[in-house]
Amino acid sequence: MQNMIEINIKYGRNGESLALQLSSECTIEEIKRRVVSQINRVRKTEASLNPEDIAIIFAGKELNDSLQIKHCDLGNNSVIHAVKIKHKSSTKDANASTTLSEAVVNLSFVDEKSDLKIGRKTNDNHLLTSAERKSFFFVYCSCCKNIDSGKLRVRCAKCKEDTLTVDKDPTCWEDVLTAGKINGTCHNGFCDGSVAEFYFKCASKNHPPLESNTSVVVLYLIRYNNREVTCLACADVNDIVVVFPCSHKHVICINCFKIYCLSKLNDRQFIIDSNIGYTLSCAVGCENSLIKETHHFRIMGEEAYKKYQRFAAEECLLQSDGVICPQPNCGAGIFVEFDDDIDPDLCNRVVCSACNYVFCRTCMQGYHIGNCESNEILSLDITSPSFSQTIDSKSANNSKWENELSLKTIKGTTKPCPKCRTPVERDGGCMHMRCTRSGCGFNWCWICQSEWTRNCMADHWFN
């Protein structure tokens, strides 16, 4: 039994559309006949068209008449364009029977400075199945909220219609990602555009058909491992890998890349770059290897990516001399206006707009009058005769060493790094703290809230 798919064919200057149920064995010539029949039926007053008068354009190519749609990389609800031929050519495009996705099957593996031609076959292409060759790119789809295979498409940069045929195939990622690299001819009757604009579409089977224009981001570092390169972390050969943008093109599998990112995220070891943002470099530590497309970090998962976005915003805030509210369970970012008339040793009063917590800009503790105190908590004077009279049974019970409520309170308490003021939570272990914020790494004492010294080791190394 032949597979049936629905194809939407756009034609005419007004963007008329024709939906056809077609067999996978159907040829482009048959589609032309059905389109021409529809056009002639609608436009009775105009001169009739013949199948030879139109061209079928899909993904930057004029499709040959003998080509069957099962070989065109067409899916259900795909859109193709029928355009009136302006000038008949005596020669056929050598690649007219090859779709754009098939033509650039080696794109992911072409070095940016290489002269490797698209038509050249590599010895390891047999490792990929036919289906994999047709879904060679990976994208993040905002509609599916997932990383899926993607389809490369091309349109006219001027009118944004898919009626453009390219003069030549792209040979590297620069051709696809940089505007104006590839030229072509737009067959839209209203347009004289000549510049190709490449874009990607989600190829997931679960992608809603009505959301075909949903914006997707191509993840060009994710590739099929048709070279059988081992992962630098686990040494296994995996089907899908991430290739770092370093000169050595180090390879890491998806799972190890996820672990690498999560580890760096939890330790706040991402790198803040003025041009790229919050990112990572090659896991080996290669120079000039920062990941420019930060959507690759979607691999960490939805919750971790939200945490990544929050940390990125915090780092941006700190880079701009802002502060983060020290109140536990808040952490809102605040831009503080400095007053030159105020003594820097005195308190700068800051009110958090999110939780209304009032704290000191200098010491990051609760609001106070006068100079900042070195101690976080003011103790009662135990030498006072009235001290014992102020203790009731409830207070005594709450002061037990193993009191459950006290343990929960201590666990939820954060203290700012004395150097960069990044909130830090201590969950057991010794009192020696090391700030995990990238670029800081300050060693400090949880008790003293100052630089870690041998005195701290002697007096309160552990609790």
Report the domain count for the chain.
Answer: 5
Q: What average pLDDT does the structure give for the chain? A: 76
Residues 187-201 pLDDT 10s: 887 888 899 999 888
Q: What is the pLDDT of residues 7-57, one digit of tens each?
A: 888 877 677 778 888 888 888 888 888 888 887 877 765 567 788 888 888
Query: 346: Cβ–Cβ under 8 A, 6 or more apart, which residues?
Result: 362, 370, 371
Distances (CA, A) of 322 to 49, 336, 337, 420, 422: 68, 6, 9, 11, 11
| pLDDT over threshold 90, residue 373 | no
Nearest to 251 by CA among 288, 291, 294, 283: 283
* 421 and 367 housed in the same domain: no
- Which tokens belong to 310? 């929050």
Q: For residue 346, what pLDDT band results from cuts at 50, 70 and 90? A: low
The DSSP result for 373-400, as a single string, is: PSSSSPPP-TTSTTTGGG--HHHHHHT-
Q: In terms of domains, do 191 and 278 share one?
A: no
Answer whether residue 185 shows pLDDT above 60. yes
Same domain? For 369 and 432 the reply is no
In a domain, residue 281? The reply is: yes
Q: Are 38 and 107 in contact (CB under 8 A)?
A: no
Instruction: Give residue 127's pLDDT.
Output: 41
What CATH number should be reported for the domain holding residue 57? 3.10.20.90
| 133: pLDDT strictly greater than 50 | no
Supply 370's token pair.
């006068």
CA distance 325 to 109: 47
pLDDT class of 297 with cuts at 50, 70, 90: very high
What local confidence, expressed as pLDDT, does residue 129 receive? Answer: 47
What is residue 135's predicted lDDT score, i.e. its pLDDT? Answer: 54
CATH code, 276:
3.30.40
Q: What is the DSSP string of 107-173?
A: GGGS-TT----TTPPPTTGGGS-HHHHTS-EEEEETTTTEEEEEEEEEEETTT--S-EEESS---SH
Helix axes 254-266, 302-319, angle to 10 degrees: 40
CA distances to 172, 173, 261, 298 from 294, rounded to whole Å, are 20, 17, 11, 8
Active-site entry in 286, 430, 440, 448: 430
Is the model's pLDDT at 317 over the cut of 60? yes
Least confident span in 291-295, 374-378, 410-414, 452-456: 374-378
Task: Please tell me what DSSP assigns to residue 329.
Answer: T
- Residue 11 belongs to a domain: yes
Over residues 390-406, the pLDDT tens digits come to 545 554 444 444 455 54
Q: Which of 205, 208, 198, 78 is closest to 143 using CA atoms?
A: 208
Tens of pLDDT, residue by residue over 152-183, are 888 899 988 888 888 888 878 888 888 888 99
**Is 430 a catalytic site residue?**
yes
310 assigned to some structural domain:
yes
Q: What is the CATH number of the domain that holds 454?
A: 2.20.25.20
Same domain, 107 and 210: yes
Q: How far apart (Å, rounded) are the C-alpha atoms in residues 81 and 25?
A: 19
Q: Of 220, 254, 271, which marks where a domain is finished?
A: 220
Tell whether the model's pLDDT for residue 389 goes beyond 60: no
Q: Which residue segment(s) compose the domain that 428 sits in?
A: 412-463
Strand-pair partners of 201? 151
